[in-house]
Amino acid sequence: MKVLVAYATVTGNTEIIARAIASAIPGADLKKLPADLNPQDYDFIFAGFWCDKGTPDEVWQAFQKDAKARPIAYFGTMGGDPNSERGQAWVNKVAGLFPCENFKGLRVWQGKIDPKILAAMAKMPGAKPMTPERQARLDEAAKHPTAEDQAQAGAWALELLKNFRNDK
C-alpha cells in the first residue's frame, strides 16, 4: 500500500506530527506542502494542517481539494488544547468544513504558537490582556508537540490504516 503523509507548517508543529506518522508507517512518503504531487499515485493519504485564524491553512486547503478523491485522513495542530471544550468545538467545525466520501479520520494535537503571531495579536485594537490563566495556556502550548503526542500520532495512523485494510 502506497501511503502519503503531506503537511503544511509554519512553526514546525505539524511537521513534527507528520514525521511521527510517517515514521510509524513503513515506506510512507513524507512531503511538505506545497509540493508537486499526484494524489492518485497513493492508496491512502494523511493530510496535515495548522490552525490559521480559526481554520486550516490555505496551502492545506488547496491540496486537500484534489487529495480527497483518495482515502484520506486529516491531522492538524493548534495552539489551544484540542481536548478542551473550545478545542473540541473547533475540531468538530473542521470536520464539517471539508466533507468527503473518502474521509477516514481527523485528529488534532496541541502545538506552540508562533511568537510573531502573539506579538501581532497583542498590538491589535481590543487585544485581550495577558492574564495569569492565559499565560499558563501559552506556556502549556509551548511544550507541544511532546514525545507522547508523537507516539499518539503514530498509533492513530497505524490504527486508521489497519481499519482501512480490514474494510477493503
Q: What is the pLDDT of residue 27?
A: 97
Q: Which domain holds residue 67?
A: 3-167
Residue 45's nearest CA partner among 27, 25, 68 is 68
Q: How far apart are CA 120 and CA 123, in angstroms?
A: 5
Q: What is the pLDDT of residue 123?
A: 86
| CATH at 92 | 3.40.50.360
**By the 8 A CB rule, do 50 and 79 touch?**
no
State pLDDT tens for residues 53-87. Answer: 788 989 998 998 888 889 999 999 998 899 999 89
Q: How far apart are CA 89 and CA 95, in angstroms?
A: 10
Q: What is the pLDDT of residue 125?
A: 87
Residue 78's nearest CA partner among 53, 59, 115 is 53
Tell me the CA distances in angstroms from 104 to 46, 51, 55, 116, one per residue in order.
9, 20, 20, 34
User: Which residues of the chain, if any, have pLDDT below 70?
Assistant: 168
Number of Cβ within 10 Å of residue 84's Cβ equals: 12
Q: What is the pLDDT of residue 120?
A: 83
Model-level pTM greater than 0.75? yes
Q: What is the pLDDT of residue 126?
A: 84
Tally of domains within the chain: 1
